[in-house]
């Protein structure tokens, strides 16, 4: 079964079924029960959906044992990871950012499946690792172009999901660049950036030459007003400023 929940905000009405039932049945039946459920939903703001249609709640689900959480970015990744989610025997929360629906990209006609829990490198770099999720990948890519003009080469790593998490890919990139900025559209407090940051610290601490900077949405319900909405969501300028701070070059 593939369930379409138009906004992740509406999954709150089904949290008992998702968190207390689907996530736990395999365990409670001693591994004999399978729950091959895919819940496809949307996250993020940027379209003036206001407070009840613009949240990014993917970190909620990643906190629950038994659920897999996929947060793809490009058309190529979305197709391959959605196929993998549907074929998986575990419940998968598949979160697509609304703003990515207008993005065009190359997608092979033939059948292909991408493994869940494997990060994707969108750009190679030597000076800093930018870990970006979902639509933040595009802002990180735009920021990387600006940074390159200033002599800073950023590597952009997309986890493609929060669980399973490709910790080794994050650590390997940071071991190369020695600096890290993490950006996610969810609210920064107790959000995805905290877990991603902890994963880097626990696996690449000795390689860091500067503290990690985390970028997330500000701590307020999403405004309807477009200017206020943009002020709430992380922007390209925030990423560029954070990178310049960790690299130590003048702004």
Q: Please write the tens of the pLDDT for every residue from 150-166.
A: 999 999 999 999 999 99
pLDDT at 185 over 80: yes
Question: What are the Cα distances from residue 34, in Å, to 30, 171, 182, 186?
Answer: 10, 33, 34, 30
pLDDT digit string, tens, across residues 32-82: 999 999 999 999 998 999 999 999 999 999 999 999 999 999 999 999 999
User: Does pLDDT of 250 surpass 70?
Assistant: no
User: Residue range 224-240: average pLDDT?
Assistant: 97
- Cα–Cα distance between 73 and 60 in angstroms, integer? 19
Conformation bin of residue 164: beta by default, left when phi > 0, alpha when psi is -120 to 50: beta
Average pLDDT of the residues of the chain: 96
Residue 249: predicted pLDDT: 55
What's the residue count for the chain? 251
Averaged over 221-248, what is the pLDDT? 96
Task: Give per-residue burial for 176-197: e unless 16+ CB within 10 Å, then b.
Answer: ebbbbbbbbbbbbeebbbbbbb
Largest CA distance in the chain: 59
Q: What pLDDT, on a 0 to 100 scale, did the predictor assign at position 230?
A: 95
3-state secondary structure 145-162: HHHHHCCCCEEEEECCEE
């Amino acid at each position: 079964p593939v369930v379409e929940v138009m906004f992740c905000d509406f999954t709150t009405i089904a949290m008992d079924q998702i968190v207390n039932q689907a996530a736990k049945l395999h365990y409670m039946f001693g591994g004999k029960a399978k729950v091959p459920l895919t819940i496809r939903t949307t996250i993020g703001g940027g379209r003036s959906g206001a407070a009840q249609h613009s949240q990014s709640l993917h970190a909620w689900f990643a906190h629950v044992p038994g659920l897999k959480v996929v947060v793809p970015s490009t058309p190529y990744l979305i197709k391959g990871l959605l196929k993998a989610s549907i074929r998986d025997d575990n419940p998968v929360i598949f979160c697509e950012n609304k703003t990515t629906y207008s993005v065009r990209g190359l997608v092979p006609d033939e059948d292909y499946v991408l493994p869940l829990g494997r990060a994707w490198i969108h750009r190679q770099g030597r000076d800093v690792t930018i870990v970006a999720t979902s639509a933040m990948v595009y802002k990180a890519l735009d920021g990387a172009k600006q940074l390159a003009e200033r002599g800073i080469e950023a590597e952009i790593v997309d986890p493609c999901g929060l669980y399973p998490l490709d910790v080794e890919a994050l650590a390997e990139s940071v071991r190369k660049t020695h600096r890290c900025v993490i950006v996610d559209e969810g609210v920064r407090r107790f959000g995805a950036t905290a877990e991603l940051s902890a994963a880097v610290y626990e696996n690449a601490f000795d390689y860091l030459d500067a503290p990690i900077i985390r970028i997330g949405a500000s701590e307020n319900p999403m405004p309807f007003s477009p200017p206020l909405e943009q002020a709430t969501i992380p922007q390209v300028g925030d990423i560029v400023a954070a990178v310049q701070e960790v690299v130590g070059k003048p702004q």
